[in-house]
Copies of this chain bind each other. A is one copy, B any other.
Amino acid sequence: MTGFTDLGYARVDTDRESRQGLPEVVYGPGKRPEEITGIVTELLARGTGPVLVTRVDPEVAERVRVPGGDYDETARLLVWRPAADRGFRVCVATAGTSDWPVAAEAEAVASAIGLRTRVIRDVGVAGIHRLMAVREDLREADAVIVVAGMEGALASAVGGLVSCPVIAVPTSTGYGASLEGVTALLAMLTSCAAGLTVVNIDSGFSAAMAAHRLAAVARR
């Protein structure tokens, strides 16, 4: 019992579901459709949880030949065997319309792994009354994922309003001094609101997986 399957082009971590409550999520870029097919087949055979492939373009998705999968084009996500609702409430809030693709990935991954998601769009701080109006919705969540580009100030504002965990996702929205998301990333890391945590630029996936870890401890 090695805990993995060596497919030659990949070493599938079949032990991860018992170790972390979720099968290995497959990172799509750089893998050919046949390789994705092989890995997904193996994961479905060796476990019982949801199987996901992230960042898959439509032309690749349609060439992955495993029955029962669903493809979400905005989130660029392939899902087999989505999990049942685990009752953990995650609110995904975006600063602007352009942040939606990243938020969509966070939402789709979180849903697929059994989290109860709610989306609140376009509440950036330039019109702060929009944020104030949804304050109570935010407070009902068990965790808030804030998705924002440019200066990322929404994360600080939300962080000051709620007491639950806040996972900040910087996006590459913007131009010039936004430095493809680096500015939002740095701003979120230095937020004056205490206890925010941050994930990689444009990584809706990482935020959803952080929420998965939260849900795990909340159930204990």
Instruction: Let me know if A163 is at the binding interface, CB within 8 A.
Output: yes
Which chain B residues lie closer than 8 Å to A45 at the CB level?
none
Q: How many residues of A contact B (CB 8 A)?
A: 100
Q: Which of A56-64, A75-83, A191-199 contacts B (4 or more CB under 8 A)?
A: A191-199
Given A125-B156, A163-B216, A213-B166, verify A192-B97 contact (CB < 8 Å): no
Q: Are A190 and B194 in contact (CB under 8 A)?
A: no
Docked pose: A130 CA to B16 CA in angstroms = 11
Q: Are B122 and A10 in contact (CB under 8 A)?
A: yes
The chain B residue sitting closest to A153, CB to CB, is: B153
Q: Are A157 and B160 in contact (CB under 8 A)?
A: no
**Contact check: which of B10, B183, B196, B216 meets A183 at CB < 8 Å?**
B183
Instruction: Let me know if A48 is at the binding interface, CB within 8 A.
Output: no
The chain B residue sitting closest to A177, CB to CB, is: B189
Which chain B residues lie closer than 8 Å to A166 at the CB level?
213
Which chain B residues lie closer than 8 Å to A172 at the CB level?
176
Q: Are B35 and A97 in contact (CB under 8 A)?
A: yes
Per-residue B-contact encoding for A127-146, CB less than 8 Å = 1, 0 else: 11110010000000011000
Closest chain B CB from A170 CB (angstroms): 8
Residues of A within 8 A of B (CB): 2-4, 8-11, 13, 15-16, 19-21, 24-25, 27, 29-31, 35, 95-98, 100-101, 121-130, 133, 142-143, 150-153, 156-157, 159-167, 170, 172-203, 205-206, 208-214, 216-218, 220
